[in-house]
Copies of this chain bind each other. A is one copy, B any other.
Amino acid sequence: MGISERKEREKEELKKAILDTAFEMFVKEGYAGTSLREIAKKIEYSPATIYLYYKDKDALFFDIQIKCFKDLIHSYRNVVKIENPLEKLRQMGHAYMKHNINNPQCFNLMFLHDSPLGAFKREDRMEKYGNAIGFLRETVKECIKENLITEKNEMIVRLEVWGLTQGLTVLMVRKSYEGMGLTKAEAENYIKLCWDNYLDRIRV
């Protein structure tokens, strides 16, 4: 069965080529700025061919989002090793914000772009950022268990942590700091201070 295996391999290679090219363009130009025709031209196939591998633009976009989430989770690789849960939470926040500020378009695609998310089943979505959510949940749980923070309601902490880091990131990515008379570098410094400040306040 060597032939059919080779064919299978070739198909997967083409699918990967589509995905990689699409990723590059989505990240550079955003969702609206990326056209399937351009992707097709870059990989030297007809636009129709893409439809043999992806149902439509949103199905392709969904896989792009997954790739973005994988990259995000990968940026946690040094954080997961940290012993102290509160320090782990702190580094997690910093890693999260830093990664997204450095990859603003990925952040857009993951959290800010709207339409296609709703088109997929809840389970599909779950799987996407399931790991990231789980990591946060476990770390918060450890912090409470080891009596490192004053707030004992796990959900409250999770929402505050997520809300604050997410909000500060949006502030950076959308350049809202400009309206406050800050440069990007200044704002980035303040963001870090905010996050450390918050953790210092909730620590026991």
Contacts and interface: CB of A to CB of B under 8 A. Distances in A.
Interface stretch (A8-16, A17-25, A84-92, A163-171): A163-171
Q: How many copies of the polypeptide does the oligomer hold?
A: 2
A151 B111 contact: no
Interface string A164-204: 11111111001010111010000100110110011001100
A155 B188 CA distance: 12
A115 interface: yes
A15 to B, nearest CB: 26
Contact of A194 (B137, B159, B179, B191): B159
Given A114-B30, A201-B202, A162 B190 contact: no
A188 to B, nearest CB: 11
Interface of A: 30, 32-33, 108, 111-112, 114-115, 117, 122, 125-126, 129-130, 133, 137, 151, 153, 155-156, 158-160, 162-171, 174, 176, 178-180, 182, 187, 190-191, 193-194, 197-198, 201-202
